[in-house]
Amino acid sequence: MLAANIEYYKPATIQAALEQFYLLKNKRKRPIYYGGGTEVLTLGRLNLIETDAVIDLKGIRECQSFEFDQEYLITGAALPLTYIEEKNLFPLLTSSSMGIADHTARNKITIGGNICGQIFYREAVLPFLICESKAVIAGENGIQIFALNEIFNETLQLEEGQFLLQLLTEKRYIHLPFVSIKKRQQWDTGYPLLTVAAVKVEDQIRFAFSGLCPFPFRSRKMEDELNNLQLPLKERISRALLQVPSPILDDIEGSKDYRLFVLRNTLNEIILDLEGK
Amino acid sequence: MAQSLVKKIGVSLEINGEQRQVEIRPADTLLYVLRNYLGLTGAKPGCLNGDCGACSVIVNEKVYKSCIMLAVEAVESKVTSIEGLSDSPIQKAFVEHFAFQCGYCTPGFIMNTHAMLLHEPHPTYETIKEWLSSNICRCTSYQEIEDAVFSVIGRDK
């Protein structure tokens, strides 16, 4: 339960959501958009999120799309993760999604909520980063489409009042060979030491990481080293590890050194799998 | 008289097949409303953080942790709490297999298993494991809980 009082709105259209946001802002309120709400409620209970109005996006039809058009898979931001898993239109996304939280929680967690959350891990973004997806953003300037790799820099770079509406993924990426691995110190549920999603596009492997740094990321510098076939695999991985962004997490889930050890072995496993050796 | 700062709204919630009118704050979780406004104390407050599953209820045939759901989100939905199950096969199986010790987590496990069986009447072991990993039993009756689930689906692990 949130200690503070909030107002709750569930608009049925994009326009109504945006109008509600700016109406509340003009009344000097602190509105936030609300997907599954799991993070709003857990952090709000601890007074780590301050809001006095939530705008629930689950009533907006475009946020609930999950279908192919001629060119793209359209993934609505308000889809619960278990819905995405059950439909399984994008196997890499299904695989990454199934590692998040637990099954019951994933009935509530939405794809957009995970990507836009404050939690370090946000594994749902990894498949979209390596498949060069596009982010459809609604805001006062209307609907805009951005390359996700340009607009996602540690967090989704949204301006005030904007919200993530959909993600568009080209059909050609949907059934490429992939690996999605989540490593924990123990148990099958809980926060990871490391999550890696990788996809093989022609002769190159693309990688995105979560749990290594306080943000999910895809690194072209790491990919260049890992795809350098002129060097032995061990050397490729050693050189890639030098390109890991900082800071590397060093917490109760695992020390920095242990995370790098796990990363080294995981990269070895993924490359052997996707290079077919 | 001091003016109340608590802003409440009137909503109608369908709980266990019955329409209940209740005044809630939009900030109230479904768990809080069930227990404190409606007297349905079967869903248990455990972690209040979406981790333990003791507060699990079924909303429109899907299982949710009611501590991480606003009650206002359940308006126009069909909510089933443990009080809404009566002599269901999974309840009987829990009794017959002694699938509890202190019993605090039991309503959550039963609601989750009931939802799983609605969704998938013949689940694989992997499916059972995946679904029930959402709930924690601190008395560690996991083996007996598994036995109870397998007895309901009519086969061995």
Domain A7-59 listed as CATH 3.30.43.10 = yes
The shortest C-alpha distance from A166 to chain B (Å) reads 22
The shortest C-alpha distance from A7 to chain B (Å) reads 6
**CATH, range B9-82:** 3.10.20.30
CA distance A174 to A93: 9
B45-70 exposure pattern, b = at least 16 Cβ within 10 A, e = fewer: bbebebbbbbbbbbbeebbbbbbbbb
Evaluate whether A181 touches A196 at the Cβ level (below 8 Å). yes
Binning pLDDT at 50, 70 and 90, where does residue A3 land? Answer: confident
**CATH, range B84-153:** 1.10.150.120
Q: Which of B70, B116, B127, B142 would you mutate first to test chain A, the one with the most A CBs within 10 A?
A: B70
The shortest C-alpha distance from A270 to chain B (Å) reads 24
* Contacts with A104 from chain B: Cβ below 8 Å: 53, 56, 63-65, 112, 131, 134-135
Q: What is the pLDDT of residue B4?
A: 45
Domain layout of chain A by residue ranges:
7-59, 62-173, 178-274
Question: What digits encode the pLDDT tens for the residues A147-199?
Answer: 999 999 999 999 999 999 999 999 999 999 999 999 988 777 777 899 999 99
Number of inter-chain CB pairs under 8 A, A vs B: 77
Range with lowest mean pLDDT among A81-90, A234-243, A246-255: A246-255
The shortest C-alpha distance from B50 to chain A (Å) reads 7
CB-CB under 8 Å, A7 with B50: no
Distance of CA B37 to the CA centre of its chain: 17
* Chain A contact for B7 (CB, 8 A cutoff): yes
CA atoms lying within 13 Å on the CB side of residue A253: 21
Q: Which residue of A has its CA nearest to B53?
A: A104
Q: What is the pLDDT of residue B1?
A: 40
Closest residue by Cα to residue A136 from A37, A32, A56, A63? A63
Q: Which residue has the tokens 């404050």?
A: A118
* Chain A contact for B56 (CB, 8 A cutoff): yes
Question: What digits encode the pLDDT tens for the residues A263-276?
Answer: 999 999 999 999 98
Question: Is the complex ipTM more than 0.90?
Answer: yes
DSSP tag of A251: B
CB-CB under 8 Å, A4 with B131: no
A62-173: what fold? Answer: 3.30.465
DSSP tag of A250: -
CB-CB under 8 Å, A45 with B65: no
User: How far, CA to CA in Å, does B73 sit from each of B19, B24, B59, B104?
Assistant: 15, 12, 10, 26
CA distance A35 to B56: 19
CA atoms lying within 13 Å on the CB side of residue A126: 35
Nearest to B133 among A3, A7, A188 (CB): A188
Closest residue by Cα to residue A33 from A219, A165, A189? A165
**CATH, range A178-274:** 3.30.390.50
Q: Does residue A254 carry a pLDDT above 50?
A: yes
CB-CB under 8 Å, B112 with A102: no
Determine the 3-state secondary structure of A97 from DSSP.
Answer: helix
* Chain A contact for B157 (CB, 8 A cutoff): no
Evaluate whether A76 touches A66 at the Cβ level (below 8 Å). yes
Q: What is the pLDDT of residue A277?
A: 65
Beta bridge partners of A28: none
Name the stretches of chain B with pLDDT < 70: 1-6
Evaluate whether B68 touches A108 at the Cβ level (below 8 Å). yes
Q: Read off the tokens for B119.
A: 């969704």
Distance of CA A257 to the CA centre of its chain: 25
Domain layout of chain B by residue ranges:
9-82, 84-153
Q: Which residue of B has its CA nearest to A189?
A: B133
